[in-house]
């Protein structure tokens, strides 16, 4: 098993808080019953094996930047911050609008954040936690004052609707947070990040990059769709997420009793339950919303965090443990003190 990097915010600069949050899901809902008409599957199989009942699907004219821009507008409105005050946009996605320019630049243009510099990071389903830590570093050092962290995925754009192993699992969504230094509170208390590139082939989108540029042959071979060895990914997800969560807790100096909410990446209810059991925490602390959204890759965690916030379930000083795992493999966990 690869090492996981520990980062101790407390010793490297200013404390950084989430001062605004927003999310967006497209209107159209695809239910398990709808999928029964598209591939050889059943509501019963999808529900018992994954916990998913329905997912949201972006419109044909919506790209990831459209989803991300809406989440970003809502996060900025929540923070009471003008787009022109944003210094930097970092956006996690595996479904960029195009090969280039980066999707963060498209979001910048849409929301009018003209003073920001913008880039994407690709860490698959761990993308939000990677982007959060990158943003935190810039604010912590005092290099930047206001950072917009976005995760935006039109994940259905890379699904093979003939592959029942993958197409039933995912949905489109975006989430965003605004980071600033506040001083008084703990903010982002700890982060751990890890990767294992030796297992890349278990979860990938092979076509369209420099390895297999788009040709008629790559299209014929369906290389432009996500490929996943689900059962293998499942095992690595449970192991690495449990370990990352434990490491992040240890780095923050907290125990599970101190944590109000655990927000795991929403890929499979059985993975989420296994992590809860390994950490020894009750189900009442573990956030689950994949029944309504499926797996939206990098967007699952900010979407779930925003939902908790909008439902009035977050109190100032609540400690939240977020943990993710995805293609690469990549994984990460962060402990955050809610500061709103």
Q: Is residue 282 packed enough to be buried (19+ CB in 10 Å), middle (13-18) or exposed (0-12)?
A: exposed
- The encoded tokens of residue 59 equal 């419109």
CA distance 189 to 258: 13
Taking CB under 6 A as the rule, does residue 53 contact ligand UT7? no
Please name the residue ranges forming H helices in the chain.
32-36, 43-50, 64-79, 103-111, 127-140, 164-167, 216-220, 230-252, 269-279, 290-293, 300-310
Between 49 and 250, name the residue whose CB sits nearer to ligand UT7: 49
Per-residue contact flags (x/-) with ligand UT7 for residues 262 to 281, judged by CB under 6 A: -----xx--x----------
Q: Which of 297, 293, 252, 276 is nearest to 130 (CA)?
A: 297
Q: Which of 168, 204, 143 is nearest to 326 (CA)?
A: 204
Which residue among the candidates 32, 56, 118, 125 is catalytic per the annotation?
Answer: 125
Tell me which of 165, 218, 256, 289 binds ligand UT7, using CB under 6 A. 165
Closest approach, Cβ 53 to ligand UT7, in A, equals 13
Per-residue contact flags (x/-) with ligand UT7 for residues 199 to 238, judged by CB under 6 A: -------------------------------xx-xx--x-
Between 178 and 263, name the residue whose CB sits nearer to ligand UT7: 263
CA distance 40 to 36: 6
For the chain, counts of helices (H) and of strands (E): 11, 14
Taking CB under 6 A as the binding criterion, the range among 3-11, 82-90, 164-172, 216-224 that sits at the site for ligand UT7 is 164-172
- Cβ neighbors of 188 (< 8 A, separation 6 or more) are 9, 15, 16, 17, 18, 132, 133, 136, 179, 334, 335, 336
Distance of CA 162 to the CA centre of its chain: 25
Between 25 and 46, name the residue whose CB sits nearer to ligand UT7: 46
Taking CB under 6 A as the binding criterion, the range among 39-47, 64-72, 215-223, 305-313 that sits at the site for ligand UT7 is 39-47
Closest approach, Cβ 337 to ligand UT7, in A, equals 27
Residue count at the site for ligand UT7 (CB under 6 A)? 20
Q: Is residue 165 annotated as a catalytic residue, yes or no?
A: no
Closest approach, Cβ 131 to ligand UT7, in A, equals 16
Q: Is residue 167 annotated as a catalytic residue, yes or no?
A: no
Binding site for ligand UT7 (CB under 6 A): 41, 45-46, 49-50, 125, 164-165, 168, 230-231, 233-234, 237, 267-268, 271, 295, 325-326
| Residue numbers annotated as active site | 125, 265, 295
């Amino acid at each position: 098993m690869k090492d996981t990097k520990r980062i101790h915010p407390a010793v490297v600069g200013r404390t950084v808080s989430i001062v605004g949050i927003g999310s967006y899901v497209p209107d159209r809902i695809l239910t398990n019953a709808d999928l029964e008409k598209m591939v050889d599957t059943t509501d019963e199989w999808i529900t018992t094996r994954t916990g998913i009942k329905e997912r949201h699907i972006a419109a044909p004219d919506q790209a990831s930047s459209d989803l991300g821009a809406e989440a970003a507008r809502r996060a900025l409105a929540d923070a009471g911050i003008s787009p022109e005050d944003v210094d930097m946009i970092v956006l996690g996605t595996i479904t960029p609008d195009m090969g280039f320019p980066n999707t963060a630049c498209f979001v910048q243009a849409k929301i009018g954040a003209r003073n920001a510099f913008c880039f994407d990071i690709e860490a698959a389903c761990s993308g939000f936690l990677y982007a959060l830590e990158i943003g935190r570093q810039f604010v912590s050092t005092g290099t930047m004052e206001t950072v917009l962290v976005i995760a935006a995925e039109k994940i259905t754009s890379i699904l093979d609707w003939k592959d029942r192993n993958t197409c039933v699992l995912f949905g489109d969504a975006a989430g965003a947070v605004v980071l600033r230094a506040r001083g008084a509170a703990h903010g982002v208390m700890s982060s751990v990040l890890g990767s294992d590139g030796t297992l890349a082939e278990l979860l990938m989108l092979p076509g369209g990059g420099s390895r297999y540029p788009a040709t008629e042959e790559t299209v014929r071979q369906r290389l432009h769709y996500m490929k996943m060895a689900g059962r293998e990914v499942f095992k690595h997800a449970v192991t690495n997420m449990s370990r990352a969560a434990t490491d992040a807790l240890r780095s923050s100096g907290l125990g599970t009793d101190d944590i109000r909410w655990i927000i795991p990446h929403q890929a499979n209810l059985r993975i989420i339950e296994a992590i809860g059991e390994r950490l020894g925490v009750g189900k009442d602390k573990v956030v689950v919303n994949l029944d309504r959204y499926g797996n939206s890759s990098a967007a699952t965690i900010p979407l779930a965090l925003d939902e908790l916030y909008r439902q009035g379930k977050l109190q100032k000083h609540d400690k939240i443990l977020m943990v993710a795992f995805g293609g690469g493999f990549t994984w990460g966990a962060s402990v955050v003190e809610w500061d709103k």
